[in-house]
Structure 1
Amino acid sequence: MVWWEAVLSPALQVLFDKLASGDILELLRRWNINDLLLEKLKIAYFTCTVVLDDAEEKQYFNPAIQTWLDMLKDAVCEAEDALDFLATEALRCKVELSPQSLSNQVRNKNFLANNFSPYDEGMNVKIEKIIEKLEFIAKQKGILGLESSGKGIHGMMHRTPTTPLVVESCIYGRENEKEDIINLLLADDGTNNQGFSVIPIVGMGGIGKTTLAQIVYNDKRIDEAFDVKAWACVSDDFNSINITKALLESSTAKPCDTMNLELLQRGLKQTLNKKRFLIVLDDVWNENFENWNELSISFMDGDPRSRIIVTSRNEGVLRVMKALPAYRLKELSDTQCWLLFQDHTLENEDSEKYLSLRQIGREIVKKCQGLPLAVKMLGGLLASKLDAVYWNQVLNSNLWDLPQKKNSILPSLRLSYHHLPPNLKRCFAYCSIFPKGYEFERKNLVLLWMAEGFVQPGAKISMEEVGDEYFSELLSRSFFQESALNRSRYVMHDLINDLAGSVSRISCVRQEENWQREHLEWSEKVHHFSYISQQI
């Protein structure tokens, strides 16, 4: 499954940098470690990684590419281990060679000669083998049709744009949330200085942000209060021309045939001028102030009571919009999820005949942990096969192992992962060592990341502060959430935990209570292991 970005270790670049420093490079030369060999290793590594964006997209449709990624991960891990060993040994020798440790320079030279074991003398050979493996892997990229297109990583993850149309009779729950948002929209405060207020709805993928925006948008009170309404699905490709065009067409209910940004901006600006408008920008990922500034030019001359609803998985996008405090959407209750599930499966079926299915279905609903997209996906999957044996198979299977063509939750959650920068991807993948429902402390997790080499200090910022920023970023993107029982601790939603397991693959292994002997064969591939027992 998706895990390749965990291969791209920021620590690997740090190790290259460490080994390139003057003192350490001199020690490596005395050990007969060829510095040109290290440069060759670096080139071989980056030759492979330039096509990773393309490989990451295509691996779901081509098992050979997934195997290629497995091979690359193993080779990169070997390279990281080798470089880490060299950097550690060089640092140790540098410390022990200091004037405080040794009495004279002659003794220093003898120390260098005697302080490298015969095993270590084969390091050149070991690095050469890693380079050979990486070069072989690089040659396969052409055969597999992998290329560095520079088009981003979401070409194969195209999603149908959302619209404001919705069948409200199929929506369960969200009555309170709907009233909260409508109250924010109708509040008569014209005190903002940008001509409108931004109301953000934030939450993890599949939790129902778009649905909430839809039912609010279509409420009669909104029609009565606002002069103009417009909807645009922004998605991960923030294109000012397309978004402005979508808003203009939505607000006028007329097609627009120009792609000239100036004409589109003038047209939208004229439509909104002195009007109290409601705009919905659905599924926003952009964190670039210039992009937002370019888009918002057309909004400036409206009635100050105008509102813009923004739905996003990432609170970071709100910083550039001068938004109101985020409205964080919570999971549905078990009762609401069950009603939604029935609507997709057993609503019109005889209750006595399918009593056993209802019992299994309630357990399946609990597995979704309040995520409506997962409930609908599983309901649709099971509706076509009302068989207790099949339903039990689904209940006892991992959601990530279900048929991908019918599994809408997978691409939704994967997209959140793909948008993480490489350093955060590795930190998140590591969290698969935690069991579902495990409550962890912020500081402890940061220390674990530091111990694994996932966090590097900045020029004027400590390693702990960098790690804390990583944690805050994952929290703002809904990968972590506060524990309902202890607000000083954090948890991952069960499906987010499954995502972490899928991206880490066999590099992280977690055992709970009963150790399965067959996992021993993974020992060479495993880099992180956790064992959870109630008896310890």
Structure 2
Amino acid sequence: MAEIGGMLAAAVLKAAAGKVGDAIGNRIMLQWRFGEDLEVMRDTLESIEAVMEDAERRSIEDASVRLWLKRLTRASYDISDMFDELEAKTTKQSALRKFKVLNPCLTLAPKVGMAVKMKKAREKLNTISNDRHNFCFTAVPQVIDERETSSRVIEADIQGRGQEIRKVIALLTEANTSSEFIILPIYGIGGIGKTTFAQLLFNDTHFKYYKKAWVYVSQTFDLKKIDDSITSQLQKEQGQLIDTQEPDADVPASKKILIVLDDLWENDDFKLEALKISLKLIGSGGCKVFVIATTRDADIAQKIQTTEAYKIEPLSTDMCWTIIKQIVGFDGRSDKETLKDTGKEIAKKCAGVALAARALGYMLRFRNFNGWVSVKDSGIWNVSTSGYTTSPYDNVLASLKLSYSSMLPYLRLCFAYCAIFPKGHKMAKDDLIYQWVALGFINPSDDVSSWQHGGNCIEQLLGMSFFQHSKSPSIEINGIRQIPMNVRLHMRLQK
């Protein structure tokens, strides 16, 4: 699979071009007398920008194009850094001149040094620009509807899991007859809906009178943290169940416990055994303990199970198509009959993965028939992400990559920046927007402030399933209530 870093090239190039444009329009910056260099650099960047969509599309299968994009990305970063340095030096000199402490002789060395950097940057960019002719790239018109930048996505209703929910509850009930302590793992590939499935179980009326605890385990396994979280949640619920006991219940409600361990990655036998012992001790006072653990790894599921693990099944193509239809507002579209067959073909490519269906639905939301066909026929679907053999992950990552490639350049930068956070990291919305603005990824327009623009970016990333709302309670920063979000990094982003 082509590196996502190659697809980041357009966003980085756009940022560099913006800094060149700002420098051209800044009279103070032009005191450095780089006007001609700036004009040439701007024209070169504009020429490259015109063919970027074709270059990114071809990078999927062509290693030489990926290498060209990688060089372009590095050059664009260098240009951005150079203008940051130029702006800093200009600001410093302006301040010194204001207080009449600037010796004209001291300005020569910085100008010479910056002139050398400017020349090298321009030559490198010219070389990359000339190399593009070897690939015969063509300019492709942008098909993304601008309305998408401000659209609010209503997440599709949960589809196709009702029968499975009943089946898992039956398995737990059957295991309950022979054991007071049960661990039932639920496993399957990433994005197939394990967490959502566990949430449906957690909130099912069958467990209405149970004491319950939900723990997000993540790739960083910390047994003490897991124990503390379970203990605090169960203690909090203890008092809430006293007055809700059903008179004909066979076991007091307070003696039934449901624990969900979501996203378990730990594969070490000793640590998993310690976890099982810790969970079993919770029921040492005569409680019946039911544990549901979600994991991607069948081996982990087998190691921790006390009753046979449940492999979550892919959704049917019809269910994936239903999710897509709900997100794109299919029933209200005038062209729905034209789109139906193409939409069903796209739904097949989801491989029964809910995450893929949601991501594709959001991407198709404002596209016309030709846009839907381009998604269906994209070469991304034909490239294995796992080497020479196919993998269940291939279509999932392909759908997410299509979503990523459909983003406008500034949104790619915003999401790529989040690669500094690990999967599942909780971010405060306001903090993230502050960081995007400070880095120059988002800027105000005549109609929208930087703050509103940042909010729109977050809404889009939530809708595309690259972010998700955290289950943690809201927090306050500087007196402002904020709802944390989790990062879902299904792709490794590289420069």
**1:64 Cα shift?**
1.1
Residue correspondence of structure 1 range 90-129 to structure 2 within 5 A:
90-97=90-97, 101-102=98-99, 107=100, 111=102, 113-114=104-105, 116=107, 118-129=109-120
Letter in 1 for 2:116: V
2:318 to 195, 205, 214: 214
Distance (Å, rounded) in 1 between the aligned partners of 2:115 and 2:23: 14
**1:35 Cα shift?**
0.3
Whether 1:483 aligns to 2:478 is no
Query: Secondary structure, in 3 states, of the residue corresponding to 2:109?
Result: coil
Letter in 2 for 1:90: T
Match of 2:451 in 1: 464
Distance (Å, rounded) in 2 between the aligned partners of 1:38 and 1:139: 18
**1:484 Cα shift?**
2.4
Q: Is the 8 A contact 1:79 1:130 kept in 2?
A: yes
Match of 2:54 in 1: 54
Match of 1:288 in 2: none
Deviation track 1:56-108 (CA, whole Å, cap 9, x = no partner) reads 122221211111111111111111111222223223333444xxx43xxxx4x
1:2 to 1, 4, 10: 4
1:142 to 130, 133, 136: 133
Q: Is the 8 A contact 2:468 2:487 kept in 1?
A: yes
**1:461 Cα shift?**
4.5
Residue correspondence of structure 1 range 277-356 to structure 2 within 5 A:
312-313=358-359
Deviation track 1:342-379 (CA, whole Å, cap 9, x = no partner) reads xxxxxxxxxxxxxxxxxxxxxxxxxxxxxxxxxxx9xx
Distance (Å, rounded) in 2 between the aligned partners of 1:66 and 1:320: 29
**1:454 Cα shift?**
1.3
What residue ranges of structure 1 are gaps of 5+ in the alignment? 154-170, 179-203, 219-230, 251-278, 284-310, 322-376, 378-398, 508-536
Distance change (3 Å), C-alpha of 1:320 and 1:70: closer
Distance (Å, rounded) in 2 between the aligned partners of 1:127 and 1:216: 52
Q: Is the 8 A contact 1:474 1:480 kept in 2?
A: yes
Letter in 2 for 1:489: P
**1:246 Cα shift?**
5.7
Match of 2:21 in 1: 17
Match of 2:430 in 1: 443
Match of 1:425 in 2: 412
What residue ranges of structure 2 are gaps of 5+ in the alignment? 145-158, 167-189, 197-313, 348-356, 368-380, 475-482
Distance change (3 Å), C-alpha of 1:116 and 1:498: farther
Q: Is the 8 A contact 1:480 1:491 kept in 2?
A: yes
Percent identity of equivalent pairs: 21
Query: Secondary structure, in 3 states, of the residue corresponding to 1:490?
Result: strand
Match of 2:161 in 1: 173
Whether 1:36 aligns to 2:82 is no
Letter in 1 for 2:54: D
**1:423 Cα shift?**
0.5
Distance change (3 Å), C-alpha of 1:216 and 1:128: closer
When the two chains are superposed, the root-mean-square deviation of aligned CA atoms in Å is: 4.4
Query: Secondary structure, in 3 states, of the residue corresponding to 2:485?
Result: strand
Match of 2:121 in 1: 130
Distance change (3 Å), C-alpha of 1:17 and 1:65: closer
Distance (Å, rounded) in 2 between the aligned partners of 1:174 and 1:441: 34
Q: Is the 8 A contact 2:327 2:362 kept in 1?
A: no
Match of 1:66 in 2: 66
Distance change (3 Å), C-alpha of 1:482 and 1:143: same
Query: Secondary structure, in 3 states, of the residue corresponding to 1:3?
Result: helix
Distance (Å, rounded) in 1 between the aligned partners of 2:36 and 2:164: 65
Distance (Å, rounded) in 1 between the aligned partners of 2:41 and 2:320: 56
Deviation track 1:271-318 (CA, whole Å, cap 9, x = no partner) reads xxxxxxxx99987xxxxxxxxxxxxxxxxxxxxxxxxxxx75388789
Distance (Å, rounded) in 1 between the aligned partners of 2:428 and 2:487: 12
For these two proteins, the number of residue pairs brought into alignment is 297
Distance (Å, rounded) in 2 between the aligned partners of 1:468 and 1:429: 17
**1:50 Cα shift?**
2.1
**1:174 Cα shift?**
4.7
**Higher RCO (CA 8 Å, separation ≥ 6 residues):** 2
